[in-house]
Amino acid sequence: MPDASSSSTPNGERLPPGMVIGPDGKPCKICTAFRNWRPRAQNTDAHPRSQMGRKNTATMMAAFASGQGFASQPDPDVRPAHCPPDVEELGRATWTFLHSTAAYYPERPTPFQRANMLNLLHALPVLYPCTTCAWHLGENMKDHPPDVSGRVPLSRWLCERHNDVNERLGKPKFNCSIRNLDERWKDGPADGSCD
């Protein structure tokens, strides 16, 4: 599996930072964050005021007259809502689904529930759209098989796998105590702010 941090195509062409090549040898849209997918402008000064200053006076005055001013400049790193998900949105949605599913998994699952949870987890490295992510998860699961014996072990197992991904991406780790997991994925904080 190609490394997600590779900076060139199989042909030796340079890739933009953060761009991932898929198994077909082409840039992988679902494996790349939107901010890394869009081509960068030649101008290195990305401050909205300096961009606005380059516009002609009539355009600038029209923007202020409409009440939009500088705020009318879209953030080039924010994926528009009508676009397909990027790797970050897909990852957040997947982790939300998996952690929430574990939070509501039975304390004493039936053999049928265990089998279905195992099927779900083992399907991820096969079916997940980001092939690099899927490969990493599959390799991780070889060393750390899923524990579907109950709600608490499954929740902790998922948290540990999520932390493995966070560590690889340079993100902070989450405290995998069941109290923290339940607060985040099932009950909400004790202060009632989510009630």
Residue 105 carries which DSSP code?
S
* Dist. CA 69–CA 71, nearest whole Å: 5
pTM over 0.85: no
Reading the chain (195 residues) residue by residue, the pLDDT tens digits are 444 444 566 667 777 777 777 777 777 767 777 777 655 444 444 444 444 444 455 555 555 555 555 555 667 777 788 989 989 999 999 999 999 999 999 999 999 999 999 999 999 999 999 999 999 999 999 999 999 999 999 999 999 999 999 999 999 999 999 999 999 999 999 998 988
What domains appear along the chain, each with residue ranges and CATH number?
87-186 (1.20.120.310)
Residue 98 burial class via C-beta count within 10 angstroms: exposed 0-12, middle 13-18, buried 19 and up: buried
Residue 153 burial class via C-beta count within 10 angstroms: exposed 0-12, middle 13-18, buried 19 and up: middle
